[in-house]
Amino acid sequence: MSNAGVVMQPLNEPAEEEIAHRPASDEKPLRVSGSRRESSRREMHVRTAHADLTFRESLQVFVVSIYVQGIVALLVLLDIVVLLLDEPWNDQPSENWIKIATWIIIIIFMLEIILRIVAFGLLFLWRNWGLDLFDAIVIGGSLVALLLEETVFAKGLMVARILRVVRFFRSLFFFYKASQNLQGAARRVTGENKMRYVDVENGFDLDLTYITDSLIAMSVPATGWVQAFRNPIGEVARFFRTFHEDHFRIYNCCPEHPYPFEPFAGNVRPFDIQDHTPPNMGFLIEFMEDARTFVDKAPEDNVIAVHCRGGKGRTGTLCCTWLLYTQEPGCEVAEDCLSFFAASRSDLRFSDKLQGVDTPSQKRYVMAIDMLLAKNNCYIHTPPQNIKRPPLAPITLTNLNVLDFFSHPQEIASKCPIQVVVQECDVTTWTIKLETPALSGTDVSNGNINFDLKGTQVQGDVRVTVYDYDKRLKAGPVKKGVIAGNEPGVLFYFIFHSAFLDFQNHKLLVPTDMMDKAFKDHKGKYNAGGVTSMSFTGTDPWCVPEPEPEPEPIELQIDMGPMPASDVIGIVQVPAEDRGCATQVLDSLGCGQPAQ
């Protein structure tokens, strides 16, 4: 689903005064972010992402592909097997088939090195501290060794044995190199067509993208076996030391893959955000406050980097928040930010798939942040104290109608009773506020399912989940770290903040394409035209009633009977609504009359 033109049903249209708060393009000060070197790096990414592949670029893709590296790895294993069969520790001449196999393997290795040099240039040999040059020397030396074995000089001498031992250690070295290259190819497969940072001169090939000169999106810096298909933490740390030493801060949105912060000198700020969910509103506010403080220390040099597991959903939500806050050109509204991030993160030379924010609730929160910033006139050029949390906005949930949502409701009704669970977030803890009785049979089969939410009161970040009751009951408590939507029995769910609802109609309408999990329907389980409607009551937290004006007082002159006007002894102010009562009291005393 395209990120452009997304319409968010839960949010009100921005009021005219909110739009007026958005800074006009000529009001925004020029904010220089990143050095000239960094700017050219960002421009290079934008230029290459939308251009056709050149011959050298196509050759680069071919050489590092999983297919070529897989073949090379198999050849390395074959070379080791052939060498062991040849018994390198004796002086007997090799059999002819072993010689032929060895020659074929060495020639293929030579061709692979030549292809790499053509694709990446001679600089390729010097990357990784010269290991690739050593690789080329070892292959060339192996070819020379094969030739020496055929000469009279080598026959009957210890030279033959030495050359075979050299071949054995060469094969072990090749095995190491092949495993490294195969891991790099696996990372490219895992990263799909996300824009990568490739720098032959410095030996970088990372799933990392400059969204702007001072904003980086990347996948998790991985440790252990995860490094086989994610960014190795050592390489990520080397990247920041090389280009942004002492001028970077990383925002970690991936609690499911913890890693040490020491390689980054502690410049990491963790956020505990479940995969396939948006950061709660408090996290988004904290992120803006912290990033603003950090960037303001050195606006021309400091950069912020955001990552989750794959560097797309949770990462994109924070990146779009920052784009809105900084009012990056072309990113003045939420829809444009979502499109800008997706286009920047995607390498469209390999696929037309956009690597942007997909999960509907994450998009919903980007829309909410857009509304919040506009209402508070809170942007990078305004005082930092303008960053304010939204009101908690307590609401009372009345019912949830699932209307024509399932493609085959009769099948659902026969297989599983359905239950709704409502949760409220307190920082990082989701507390269950309601578990409805499970519905089944005719309550489900007609396609119009109505759940009584029993006047449940919630506020702030709220999650509503529809479960297969039996699967949920059988699985028991959900373990921490499970991807949202993968909890046992989850059919679909949506997350919202209560301050950003439609308080005119008191309904939240969530169509299928904006429902988490259901929007990616690969099995035809959900009806594309279905909608879920949640009804609630509550007061619009943004509409503060104006105080009633103070009543204007009237004056009563108090006199003591037939006395000259000069003998008036005082004036008492009485509110207008009390005039009649005051006049009666004074008349009864015979000492007062209203002033003219």
Per-residue pLDDT of 76-91, as tens digits, reads 788 777 777 766 555 5
Instruction: Indicate whether 305 and 275 sit together in one domain.
Output: yes
Q: What is the DSSP string of 465-520?
A: EEEEHHHHHHH-SPPTTPPTT-STTEEEEEEEEGGGS-TTTTEEEEEGGGSBTTTS
Per-residue pLDDT of 436-456, as tens digits, reads 999 887 778 788 899 999 999
| Mean pLDDT across 211-215 | 94
| Mean pLDDT across 234-260 | 94
Nearest to residue 317, comparing CAs of 256, 389, 365, 254? 365
Residue 478, by phi and psi: left (phi above 0), alpha (psi -120 to 50) or beta? beta
Q: Whole-angstrom Cα distance, residue 215 to residue 303? A: 6
Which of 81-90, 184-193, 410-419 is predicted least confidently?
A: 81-90
Instruction: Indicate whether 568 and 455 sit together in one domain.
Output: no
| Mean pLDDT across 361-378 | 94
Determine, yes or no, domain membership for 116.
Answer: yes
Classified as helix, coil or strand, 548 is coil
Cα 532 to Cα 204, 310, 448, 511: the distances in Å are 47, 30, 10, 6
Q: Which DSSP letter does residue 406 get?
A: B
Instruction: Indicate whether 346 and 472 sit together in one domain.
Output: no
Answer yes or no: is pLDDT of 586 > 50: yes
| CATH number of the domain to which 260 belongs | 3.90.190.10
Which of 62-71, 494-503, 532-541 is predicted least confidently?
A: 62-71
Instruction: Indicate whether 337 and 449 sit together in one domain.
Output: no
Tokens read off for 387: 């960053």
Answer yes or no: is pLDDT of 203 > 90: no
Instruction: Indicate whether 220 and 289 sit together in one domain.
Output: yes
Which of 72-76, 218-222, 253-257 is predicted least confidently?
A: 72-76
Question: What is the tally of helices (H) and strands (E) in the chain?
Answer: 16, 18
Instruction: Indicate whether 373 and 413 sit together in one domain.
Output: no
Q: How confident is the model at residue 271 (pLDDT cuts 50, 70, 90)?
A: very high
* Other CB atoms within 10 A of residue 276 CB: 21
Instruction: Indicate whether 453 and 468 sit together in one domain.
Output: yes
Answer yes or no: is pLDDT of 222 > 50: yes
Instruction: Indicate whether 530 and 423 sit together in one domain.
Output: yes
Which of 227-231, 249-253, 349-353, 495-499 is predicted least confidently?
A: 349-353
Determine, yes or no, domain membership for 5.
Answer: no
Determine, yes or no, domain membership for 458.
Answer: yes
**Which of 128, 162, 190 delimits the end of a domain?**
190
Tally the domains of the chain: 4
Per-residue pLDDT of 509-568, as tens digits, reads 999 999 999 998 877 889 888 999 999 999 999 886 666 666 665 555 555 555 554 454
Is the full-model pTM beyond 0.85? no
Determine, yes or no, domain membership for 544.
Answer: no
Most confidently modeled range among 64-78, 112-126, 487-501: 487-501
Q: How confident is the model at residue 368 (pLDDT cuts 50, 70, 90)?
A: very high
**Which of 152, 173, 190 delimits the end of a domain?**
190
Q: Whole-angstrom Cα distance, residue 155 to residue 134? A: 28
Answer yes or no: is pLDDT of 316 > 60: yes
Tokens read off for 389: 């949390």
Q: How confident is the model at residue 434 (pLDDT cuts 50, 70, 90)?
A: very high
**Which of 190, 225, 256 delimits the end of a domain?**
190
Q: What is the pLDDT of residue 348?
A: 81
Q: Whole-angstrom Cα distance, residue 345 to residue 543? A: 38
Per-residue pLDDT of 317-335, as tens digits, reads 999 999 999 999 989 899 9
Which of 85-99, 240-254, 548-562 is predicted least confidently?
A: 548-562
Determine, yes or no, domain membership for 417.
Answer: yes
Q: Do the beta carbons of residue 267 and residue 245 sit within 8 Å?
A: no
Tokens read off for 255: 């609690």
Instruction: Indicate whether 513 and 421 sit together in one domain.
Output: yes
Instruction: Indicate whether 219 and 252 sit together in one domain.
Output: yes
Q: What is the pLDDT of residue 459?
A: 95
Beta strands 570-575; 553-558: pairing state: antiparallel
Q: Whole-angstrom Cα distance, residue 532 to residue 420? A: 12
Q: What is the pLDDT of residue 173?
A: 72
Q: How confident is the model at residue 28 (pLDDT cuts 50, 70, 90)?
A: very low
Q: Whole-angstrom Cα distance, residue 100 to residue 82? A: 10
Q: What is the pLDDT of residue 259?
A: 94
Most confidently modeled range among 149-153, 384-388, 460-464, 473-477: 460-464
- Single-letter amino acid, residue 526: Y
Instruction: Indicate whether 199 and 324 sit together in one domain.
Output: yes
Q: Do the beta carbons of residue 291 and residue 380 sit within 8 Å?
A: no
Determine, yes or no, domain membership for 85.
Answer: yes
Classified as helix, coil or strand, 534 is strand
Answer yes or no: is pLDDT of 1 > 50: no
Determine, yes or no, domain membership for 4.
Answer: no
Q: What is the pLDDT of residue 409?
A: 83
Q: What is the pLDDT of residue 136?
A: 74
Determine, yes or no, domain membership for 209.
Answer: yes
Instruction: Indicate whether 430 and 463 sit together in one domain.
Output: yes
Alpha-helix runs per DSSP H in 152-244: 158-190, 233-244
What residue numbers bound the domain in which 399 lies? Answer: 395-537
Residues annotated as part of the active site: 308
Q: What is the pLDDT of residue 5?
A: 35
Q: What is the pLDDT of residue 112?
A: 80
| CATH number of the domain to which 171 belongs | 1.20.120
| CATH number of the domain to which 514 belongs | 2.60.40.1110
* Other CB atoms within 10 A of residue 481 CB: 10
Q: What is the pLDDT of residue 3?
A: 40
